[in-house]
Structure 1
Amino acid sequence: MNKNLMYSFKFNESTSMMNMNKLNDKMLMIMMMIIMSIMVVMMTKKSMLNKSMNENHIMETMWTIFPSFIILIMSAISIPILYTNNEMKMTSITIKIMGNQWFWSYEYTNFDIKFNSYMMYKKKFNFNILETDNKMVIPFNTPLMLIMSSMDVIHSWCMPSLNIKMDSIPGQMNSIKTKSNKIGVSWGQCSEICGTNHSFMPVMMETVTMKEFIKWVNKNK
């Protein structure tokens, strides 16, 4: 395993995840600057550490204004990313995802394709409790609308590399927009405790070129 993954998010496979990685780096930088500033003040201004000091109006004003200013900076950085992550327009393909005990059902509404996705129980596999018999296939760099619900209990369709974690709730339709910018296979799991076999509900998704996706659609119709 790459050592960088131990200290940060999984490699981004969507614009949304890329923005989240950048936001995380900026927030960590702000926190480090705050910690360093406090350490410098504590080491140089010993008068501020006097236990007998009763009041200091200048210091009280500073520790009220500076945190408010920092919060404004953090808000200005995060709000645009929050807005773009929830933007719901200009999608080309709609995929309906249904949670079941304990497997996922996929429906490509544009192409009339339906299938279930179960975890593979073979002895020879590449990733334990992550591979499925039928994987979700999406085209590269194409805006998608994912609509999620459940047939029984609350599930949660989670794909960390795409910055997606959406609850599948019975009687309710949740939706999210995504676009994969990396060709290859990605893995996720149900991140909601949905029953005894909760850990056996993996998500396997493959991103292919548009030409390969059209071949896959024609093959599965």
Structure 2
Amino acid sequence: MFVNLSFKLNESNSMINMNKLNDKMMMIMIMLLMMVTMMMMMKNKLMNKSTFENQKMEMMWTTFPSLIIIMMTYLSIPVLYLNNELKMNIMSIKVSGNQWFWNYKYMNFKYSFNSYLMYKKKFNLNLIETDNKIILPFNNQVLLIMTATDVIHSWAMPSMNLKCDTIPGQINNMLIKSNKIGISFGQCSEVCGVNHSFMPIMMETVSMKEFVKWVKKF
């Protein structure tokens, strides 16, 4: 039950850091809520007289929130810029959004394919399975080059804390590194037309050995 109240299962280091940040922020909010509740319960006429035009207290409730905001900023900035940290990428994949399917092009291997919604389901999951899925090697960083051919789309993988707009005539970059072998699902997260809800994303993370076997097929 409590799992449904939090984020999805962590499938990337970025999502792990996001969960940790969420836990820290929740602890700060709970502590503040407890302090405010205690102050409201202790409120009486005598306390009102002592707080009237009390410059020390005014200084405290101005300084204390400022320190909390600074602390929250300090905790969140590393997580905010983690996805933009450019390192050595094992390969690059160009992702093109179309009405209403995705095109993936493995730049290093000169291999591309389209990914459409699959109505004959293998996993009995509604409207999120595709006929062709993107394959990534486990625990290796990959650069995704995002663009679109018609209207604005958005490539989103919630379990990895990833979301990037694909805009016609513009290139956006996003790094992806999966720390879990298996299949992940995503969805177009930008309204792009009548069939917007029929643009799922299906990605499988495999071991490097299995990935090499898959590459040799083409």
TM over 0.5: yes
Distance 1:124 1:213, change over 3 A: closer
Q: Tell me which residue corresponds to 2:125.
A: 127
Asked if the contact 1:88/1:176 (under 8 Å) is kept, the reply is: no
Aligned to 2:33: 35
Contact conserved, 2:121 with 2:129, CA < 8 A, in 1? no
The letter for the 1-side match of 2:97 is G
Residue in structure 2 matching 1:81, options 79, 82, 86: 79
1:151 to 126, 149, 152: 149
* Counterpart amino acid of residue 213 in structure 1: F
Among 42, 45, 48, the alignment partner of 1:44 is 42
Equivalent residues in 2 for 1:156-175 (5 A)? 156-175=154-173
Give distance in 2, aligned partners of 1:191 and 1:95. Answer: 20
What's the Cα RMSD here?
1.8
Unpaired runs of 5+ residues, structure 2, are none
Counterpart amino acid of 1:156?
S
The more displaced of 139-148 and 78-87 is 78-87
Partner Cα distance (1:19, 1:47) in 2 = 46
Aligned to 2:199: 201
Q: Quick one: structure 1 residues 49 and 202, their matched pair in 2 at CA, closer, same or farther if it must change by over 3 Å?
A: farther
C-alpha distance 6-67 of structure 1, shift in aligned 2 (>3 A): same
CA displacement, residues 161-185 of structure 1 (integer Å, 9 cap, x when unaligned)? 1110000000000001121000000
**2:104 aligned to which of 92, 103, 106:** 106
Residue 63 of structure 1, CA deviation: 1.3
Match of 1:210 in 2: 208
CA contact (8 A) 1:141 1:179 kept: yes
Equivalent position amino acid for 1:145 in 2: L
TM normalised by structure 2 equals 0.94
Corresponding residue for residue 190 of structure 2: 192
TM-score by length of 1: 0.93
Paired-residue identity, %: 62
Aligned mates of 1:49, 1:107 — CA distance in 2: 68
The match for 1:176 is 174
Report the Cα offset of residue 93 of structure 1: 1.1
Question: Which of residues 93, 96, 101 in structure 2 aligns to 1:95?
Answer: 93
Whether the 8 Å contact between 2:105 and 2:111 is mirrored in structure 1 is yes
> Any unmatched runs of 5+ in structure 1?
none
Question: Aligned equivalents of 2:47 and 2:109: distance in 1?
Answer: 69
Q: How many residues get paired?
A: 218
